[in-house]
Amino acid sequence: MTSSVPLIQLNSGTQIPQLGFGVFLVDPADTQRVVEDALAVGYRHIDTATGYNNETEVGAAIRASGIPRDEIFLTTKLRNDHHKAGDVEGSFARSLDMLGVDYLDLYLIHWPLPARDLYLDTWRTFETFANDGRARAIGVSNFLIPHLERLIEHADIVPAVNQVELHPIFQQRELRSFQATHGIKTEAWGPLGQGKYDLFGMAPIQAAAAAHSVQPAQVVLRWHLQTGNIVIPKSNSRDRMAQNFDVFGFELSADEMAAIDALDENRRVGGNPAEVD
């Protein structure tokens, strides 16, 4: 793994690079080039999903990179309409085939879809992937505390990761605290707010950027890392990828961290997991 990126120990025994690269909304036509660029920059943690429709291209980029498979941490996610009884195994097998790999480092339930009430049965199938080694770790995405409590009560394996919307105006403090208590690591999607509000114009972020001679995005990613989040920014630009990766040469002070912490409004910019179906 790339030496500059801290490794986070998961409850499965495997380690995940704390800084990764996501390909949400990356056009399949661009994905191979984008992922090859990310790997060339130094990322060794790639996050995709069946629902992104670019698993094939992610796999092609990994092969073209020449980087050994065991040096890349690869995540994908179960598509929402594949929770159907009997299709979870098939969806997992198709993901392996499209990615061109024989195991995943992390496999996630993409959304809990509580109105369908299938996630517990789906999780039991996920446990078979962990038990037979085809998934080095299994986890969830967009789960709320009640969904996690139900899994913990009725399942054999506690999720290794919960990947959730998390950025300075939506910091998920209660969820993060719950997960820390139960050994579940928090991974942030939309870590830069998806451009849906003027994150980079906020005074504490601008002040920290000026103080450290870095860009506002680097400040926000550094805040995530120092908070303890796993974080997966995305960009189609190699220069921006490199900038986002260059966050280990400075450290935010306690006052700077506190000022960004104080931006929390508990306000989502994405879907509410209690309502997505």
Q: Tens digit of pLDDT for each residue in 187-233? A: 999 999 999 999 999 999 999 999 999 999 999 999 999 999 999 99
Question: What is the CATH architecture assignment of 7-261?
Answer: Alpha-Beta Barrel (3.20)
Q: What is the pLDDT of residue 44?
A: 98
**Confidence bin at 241 (pLDDT 50/70/90):** very high
In this structure, are strands 15-17 and 7-9 parallel, antiparallel, or unpaired? antiparallel
Does the pLDDT at position 84 exceed 80? no
Residues in the chain: 277
Catalytically annotated residues: 52
In the chain, pLDDT over 70 holds for what percent of residues? 99
Of 54-58, 81-85, 96-100, the poorest mean pLDDT is in 81-85
Does the pLDDT at position 2 exceed 50? no
Q: What is the pLDDT of residue 183?
A: 98
Q: Which of 154, 136, 168 is nearest to 10 (CA)?
A: 136
Q: What is the pLDDT of residue 211?
A: 98
In the chain, pLDDT over 90 holds for what percent of residues? 96
Average pLDDT over residues 106-128: 96
Q: What is the pLDDT of residue 1?
A: 40
Domain boundaries in the chain? 7-261
Q: Indicate the pTM of the whole model.
A: 0.96
pLDDT, tens only, 254-265 = 999 999 999 999
**Confidence bin at 32 (pLDDT 50/70/90):** very high
Q: What is the pLDDT of residue 79?
A: 94
Q: What is the pLDDT of residue 60?
A: 98
Q: What is the pLDDT of residue 3?
A: 60
Does the pLDDT at position 85 exceed 90? no
pLDDT, tens only, 133-150 = 999 999 999 999 999 999
